[in-house]
Every structure is written in C-alpha cells, then in structure tokens.
Structure 1
Amino acid sequence: MSLAIVIPYYNIDFFDKTLFSLACQTDKRFKVYIGNNNSPNNPIKLIDNYRNQLDIVYKEFKNERNPITLSEQFMQCVSLISDEEWFMILGDDDLLEQNVIADFYRYLPQIEENRINVVKYSTAVINKNDDLSSKIYKYNTIENSTDLYVKKINKRARSSLSEHIFRTSQYHQYRISAYPLAWHSDDMMVLKYSNFGNIFCISDSIVLIRSSNMNITGRVYSYMNEKSEASIYFFSELLSRYTNKFDYNDLKNFFQILITMSLDRYNPSGFLEHIRIGVNILGEKEVDEEIIGIKYPQLINIETDRLEKSSYDFYINTFCLYKNKENVLREFSDKKEFNIEWIELGHQLYCIDKEHLNSIVNKSLMEEDDFIIVCFENHRFGANYIRTNLLKYIYWANIYKADILFGNGDEIDFMCKLQEELYWVNSVRRSNFIILFRNFFRRLWNLDFSDNIDLSEKISTLSTNKLIIHPFI
C-alpha cells in the first residue's frame, strides 16, 4: 500500500460525509489513519459503518485539545502511518471526488519520473450545505512551489492542507512547522517538502475544502492574535532562512506583510529584529521607505504661515519633574509657551511613579488638554530652539495621529524619516522632553512602574504611533 490518508479528527458534524467520500473512491489502494484529538464526540459508530469498505486504523489520543498546538496533533496522527510511501492529511470535514485516488496512481509514474515530492489537486471551497462557494482552482501539471505561494498571497491561487499528497520521507526530514493553529504550517510543508522546487498538479479530479464556522479557516474573526503570531513566525523564517529561494520583489512583499503584522502585534524588541532582517535583505533606505509607506501611506502638506501667527498666544500645560528645581528653572524662565506645574520626585529621576503619573493624567483629562508635555530637570533646550517650530512639530504629530512625540532621546534603537525634522521611532530608552497626546492619556492610567523602567522606555512599548524630533529640541 503506497498511500496513507491521515485524518486528525475532532468535529463530528461533517465527518460521515468525509468517510463516505473515501468509501466512494474508485481506487481503494489507500489506508485510513484516524487520530481522535480528544473530541467530545466519539466517532467510533460512524467509523464502524465503514470498516467493511475501508482499511481503517483508529486511535484515541488523550492530550488536551488545544488549537494552538494543532501542528503537534497533526504529527501525532501522522505517526500512526506504517510503511506507506505517500500520505495525505485530510480535514475531518473535507471531501474527495471519487477519482482522486485513482488519478494519483494514474499519474504516479510521471510523479516518480520527475522526482516530485508533493502532489497538489485542484480544489473548490464548499459551505456547510455542500454548495460551491468558490471557483474551481486549476493549475499547470508542473508548478513551482514558490511561484504558487506568491500567487496565493496575491489572491491568484489558493492552498490548504487537504489537497496535497506528500512523500513520507520528506515528512521524516522536515516534520511540520509548529506555528500557532498550524496556520501557515501547510504552506511551509509544501515549500520544504518540495525543496522549494516543483510540485505535480492534478486537475482531473477535485478536493472539496469546507469553510464553515466549525473550522479555524472558516471562522475568519476567531483566533486573530494567534493567526497574526503564526504569520509573523512564518514570514520571519522565510526572510531569515530562505532568501535564496525567492526573487527580490517577492522578498519585499514578504517584508511588507511581516511589518504590517508586526505593527498589529507590536513589541519593540521583536519589531527591531524584523527591521534587522529587512535591512539585511533590502538595505536601510528601502526598509525606511517601506515602514513609512505602511504607517503613513499619505504624507501631508502642511501650511506653516498660520502657525507662526498663532504661536504668540499659545501655551502648553507642562509637568516638570525634578529633584533639584534650580537645575531647570533657568531653562524655562523666558519661555512663556510653557505653563509649568512642578512635581518633586523623591527617587530616581526618570522613573516616575504611578501616583504622580495618574495625577498628571487626571488633571489633563479634566482640563481637556489636547496634548501635554512631561519633562525632567536635566532638559536643556538647544541653541536653535524656536517656539514656532515646537508648535509646528506638535501640529504635524497631531495630524499624523501620534500618541507620543519625543523632543529628544538617548539609546534610540531605530528611527526613519517621515518629513523634515520628524521621524518615526521604534523605542527610546530615555527622553527628558516628551509630548503626550489626548488619545493616549487613558493608556497611562495606573501604569505599573514596579520594574523601575524609565518613562520613555515604558511608553515606547504601548504604541506604534511614536514620533521624534530631530535635531532635538
């Protein structure tokens, strides 16, 4: 027997139809391996109905059902295979047209002649009523796996796990990538098992892929965080390990997807790692342009004439934190644009405590400030400081929906130019002049500073909408 059909079973709703589609195969040269992933619905009665028609191995696994570790459960089921040279992982709700297996054996000599490790069938998507909800996707007999994947992300092809047959020896070499929800695991299987080369496509018969609220693919808005996390792992792996398998434009496209996903699941240290991956492939200039293009797809032309006229009567509520007020009084003595409230700190200068920050937030909300400034006693204005420029930067940052505008900073890990003296910034270790905008105020409430992290570094983790002025104020 050359072919194993592995079914990781959990949902019973369409399972009878799946087994029936196997029983209807015109060629029965396959063995069915069913692994029960701790389902609440025992399928044994259904399975017993088909034992006279199908060669079935059934095993119950007692592992806790966790969709996040689906790839491990898939491997657990694949481990049931005995000596079959080829295997298919079939969803417990998907269907095979009656000649799927017959066509595999009909084309097997060509598959072997071309040293193919992955076979792909034409597919169509069906709903819970078995009605077609997509066109039939057909392919050339020989397709390159990398080309097909690029077509998939550009919506010119589709792919899922069930329509593939894999050479078992490739599984033993590469296993199944452990992405959350096994999201993209099938993509990486096709790429790795084919050695990023050719796959054989069969269009004579079709695999019907079910999309319903009973499976992860059909539940579009479920597990969004896990799907994003899996995408980040997947594209990071492609960009860090397999750059020689794709052309420049494909890699650029992957980087755009990675950055978009990373911004949605933002973590400054992780984002910095993705930036470094991009720089190694695309170069600094291209990475800067890609990030700005994603964050700010439309740059804004701002008239500054009226800003100059209005700058004479504006002031900003400014909270100055100090241990020694004399160190900073002179800096603000001639600058009427700052309405200062002095806050004495009894501990490390940059580590504002929760009580002080809550007080600042509460007062700013009560006074309906659009923005405020938090500065520290060691701030020194540059020789070229002009109040009109400060208003301009704040106005620009507000138009770009910034949460934070740093007036300066130390240990900046990455920044890229938005326009003129305004830059997007990933993380600032320490800044002594910080403009905070109204939409961000409530996120500062009850912020925990028990880890003694500086204010700048702490708030850098809370938002992607961060800008910095350079040259510094």
Structure 2
Amino acid sequence: MLAIVIPYYKINYFRDTLTSLANQTCKKFKVYIGDDASSNNPEFLLQDFVNIFECEYFRFEENLGEKYLTKQWERCIDLTADEAWIMILGDDDVLGETVVEEFYKGLERPNFASNVIRCATIVIDEQNKTYSDLFTHPELETGIEFSIRKLKHETRSSLSEYIFKKETYRRHKFTHFPSAFYSDDKAWFDFSEEKKILSLNEAVVYIRVSDFSLSGSSSNKIAREAECQYLLLIYVHQFHKLNSSEKGLLLIKLEDTFYFNKFKDIKVLYKFYFRCLLYFKFDKLIKSHKKLFRKLYHSFDT
C-alpha cells in the first residue's frame, strides 16, 4: 500500500493539497501528516475530509524543519505503519486526479523492478495558474543518468513527484544539505540502488512556487553551498560511472561552486586539478589554470 506523508508547516495552500487527495480516482492510500510545530493548526481543515480518505495527524512540539528539514521528513516517515511505498507530498503541492491510480498501474507493468517511481510535473503559482509546460522524463533511467540531465539543465525535479520503497529508504536515509537543497536529488540515486527509475508521465503532480515556498524564499548563497556539497559527493562516489564528457561537465560545475563557496580543502583541490588536465578541453583548461592556482595559493596563505 502507499503512504502519502505530508511534512506540514504552512496552511496557505493546504486545503488545495487535501482536496487533491480527496479527488483521487483511487483511494488505496493512507495519509500521514506530521505538524512541524506550526503556529497554524490544520485540524479544522482535516475535519472537512473525514471519511473521504484515511488520515492520521500528529503534532511535533519541536520545530526541526527550519534547521534540519531532512530530519523532519524522516520523523514524518516514522509515523507510517506497514506501507511498502512512500510519497512525501509538500503542504502546498497538488496531485493530479489519477496519480495514485497510475502508481498502482506502474506496479503491474511487465518486468517491473524499480525502487523509485516518479510522476510528470507542472509548476503552478499562488493562484493555481500554470507556470511551466509539462515536464516529463524518460520511461526508465538510472539515478546518475537523471543527475547528469539535471546538471545539464535538461530537466527539473522536486520531492513531491517521487514515490519510493520504504525498505531502500531505510538503508540510506536522506543526506542533509543546507535547507535540504539537493537532498532529494541525492536520494534518488541512493534509493534506486542501481535499478532504473520508472517514470509515470501520465500522472501529473503540480508543484507550487510562491513566496511561502522554500524555493521561492531561500537565499542563493544557501542553495550554492548545498550544490557544492552535493556535487562533491557525486565527484567522490560516482565519478567512475561517468563517460568522459559527463566527467568534464561535473568538473566544470565543481570548479564554479569551489570559487563561489571559497572551498579550501587542499587535497581535494590538487586531485581535482589533475582530473581537469585529463578531462577539460584545451581552451577551458587554460582559463581554469589561473583561477585554480590562485585558489591553491590562498589555501596555503590561510
């Protein structure tokens, strides 16, 4: 069975989220709401959906989301029972009517062998107006293939569009990055465990971007700090799986984040430099030399 987990904090669009659950064509799911010590108690809204879908509400007295959002996700997952699959749905995002139905159809596909399933998405604004075209994905791809596509800006991704096996989540948990930026991206190649991610392009999740959402309010500096940590983990653990052009792309992205974040790990920088010699094209290598040696010099100087 599917558990839909909502780490709740903001009430602004929560009725829309709950209504989208009530409108599902398949009601074979249970909702778990973990209130992150919000000042806006949502229980009066939940009364309107009693007997429409199964739901449990729990209020945490300590706010974790402000500092450790991934820990809030994890303690909300801990509320679930024996459900085998988990979706973490944002408290302002909206499910298309057939998301749950398409999920169960996906499980019945011939030779199904995925730990992670994802839906198509449309970005919406505060007035529920579409803010983007429909984003779809290859039917099957590995977690690292997805990561490279995102580094190339060929796709977008957000937590709410994914459904994953609880057993693989338990083996890996979420990696904490500042404000949880890239924590979900890292999870998909962890949770997929070399198996391919299955895309349900017929199922649509509407992702809201507003002044109240994290992506609409967090500073660029926090996002760049998280990006550096995320790229470093790919660099350390996944580099050998990439082809030459992908390795070059990752090194270019890392170079940019190193300078933005004043990265000073001398051992990493030296190894990074020699990999640049191997994978950068000549013109890019010339441009990088001056910046990299300046970075190495300042590392010694400080």
Aligned to 1:101: 100
Stretch moving more, 84-93 or 237-246:
237-246
Query: CA 1:291 to 1:34, structure 2 compared with 1: closer, same or farther past 3 Å?
Result: farther
2:279 counterpart of 1:278: no
For these two proteins, the number of residue pairs brought into alignment is: 301
Contact kept in structure 2, 1:97 and 1:206, CA below 8 Å: yes
Aligned to 1:72: 71
CA distance in 2, matches of 1:236, 1:427: 21
Contact kept in structure 1, 2:99 and 2:203, CA below 8 Å: yes
Contact kept in structure 1, 2:11 and 2:40, CA below 8 Å: yes
- 1 or 2 for the larger relative contact order (CA 8 Å, sep ≥6)? 2
Query: CA 1:106 to 1:285, structure 2 compared with 1: closer, same or farther past 3 Å?
Result: closer
Amino acid at match of 1:32: V
Q: How far is the alpha carbon of 1:259 from its aligned partner?
A: 1.8
2:265 counterpart of 1:266: no
Amino acid at match of 1:223: S
| 1:450-465 matched pairs, under 5 angstroms | 457-458=301-302
Aligned to 2:30: 31
Q: How far is the alpha carbon of 1:291 from its aligned partner?
A: 6.8
Aligned to 2:200: 202
2:250 counterpart of 1:254: yes
CA distance in 2, matches of 1:154, 1:261: 15
CA distance in 2, matches of 1:108, 1:4: 15
1:131 to 129, 132, 148: 129
Aligned to 1:243: 239
Query: CA 1:283 to 1:77, structure 2 compared with 1: closer, same or farther past 3 Å?
Result: same
2:85 counterpart of 1:215: no
Q: Secondary structure at the match of 1:172?
A: helix
Q: Secondary structure at the match of 2:52?
A: coil
Q: How far is the alpha carbon of 1:106 from its aligned partner?
A: 1.5
Aligned to 2:225: 229
CA distance in 1, matches of 2:194, 2:228: 20
Query: CA 1:250 to 1:136, structure 2 compared with 1: closer, same or farther past 3 Å?
Result: same
TM-score (norm 1): 0.60
Q: How far is the alpha carbon of 1:148 from its aligned partner?
A: 2.3
Aligned to 1:442: none
Aligned to 1:140: 138
Q: Percent identity?
A: 29
Can you list the C-alpha shifts for 1:132-172, whole angstroms capped at 9, x where unaligned? Answer: 11010122322333222222222221111101100111101
Amino acid at match of 1:45: F
Query: CA 1:287 to 1:239, structure 2 compared with 1: closer, same or farther past 3 Å?
Result: farther
Contact kept in structure 1, 2:251 and 2:276, CA below 8 Å: no
Q: Secondary structure at the match of 1:255?
A: helix
CA distance in 2, matches of 1:15, 1:177: 27
**Structure 2 unmatched runs, 5+:** none
Q: Secondary structure at the match of 2:56?
A: strand
Query: CA 1:164 to 1:225, structure 2 compared with 1: closer, same or farther past 3 Å?
Result: same
Query: CA 1:81 to 1:280, structure 2 compared with 1: closer, same or farther past 3 Å?
Result: farther
Q: Secondary structure at the match of 2:248?
A: helix
| 1:19-98 matched pairs, under 5 angstroms | 19-98=18-97
Q: Secondary structure at the match of 1:214?
A: coil
Contact kept in structure 1, 2:120 and 2:205, CA below 8 Å: yes
Q: How far is the alpha carbon of 1:283 from its aligned partner?
A: 4.4
- Alpha-carbon RMSD across the aligned residues, in angstroms, is 2.3
Contact kept in structure 2, 1:239 and 1:277, CA below 8 Å: no
Stretch moving more, 63-72 or 229-238:
63-72
CA distance in 2, matches of 1:124, 1:190: 20
Stretch moving more, 59-68 or 164-173:
59-68
Stretch moving more, 31-40 or 64-73:
64-73
Amino acid at match of 2:144: T
Query: CA 1:44 to 1:264, structure 2 compared with 1: closer, same or farther past 3 Å?
Result: same
Stretch moving more, 189-198 or 93-102:
189-198
Aligned to 2:287: 293
| 1:434-453 matched pairs, under 5 angstroms | none
Amino acid at match of 2:270: R
| Higher Cα Rg, which structure | 1
Q: Secondary structure at the match of 2:26?
A: coil
Aligned to 1:330: none
Query: CA 1:289 to 1:175, structure 2 compared with 1: closer, same or farther past 3 Å?
Result: farther
CA distance in 1, matches of 2:108, 2:279: 50
Q: How far is the alpha carbon of 1:282 from its aligned partner?
A: 4.4
Contact kept in structure 2, 1:124 and 1:134, CA below 8 Å: yes
TM-score (norm 2): 0.91
Aligned to 1:343: none
Q: How far is the alpha carbon of 1:260 from its aligned partner?
A: 0.9
CA distance in 2, matches of 1:135, 1:24: 23
CA distance in 1, matches of 2:182, 2:99: 24
CA distance in 1, matches of 2:298, 2:182: 34
CA distance in 1, matches of 2:295, 2:97: 57
Q: Secondary structure at the match of 1:239?
A: helix
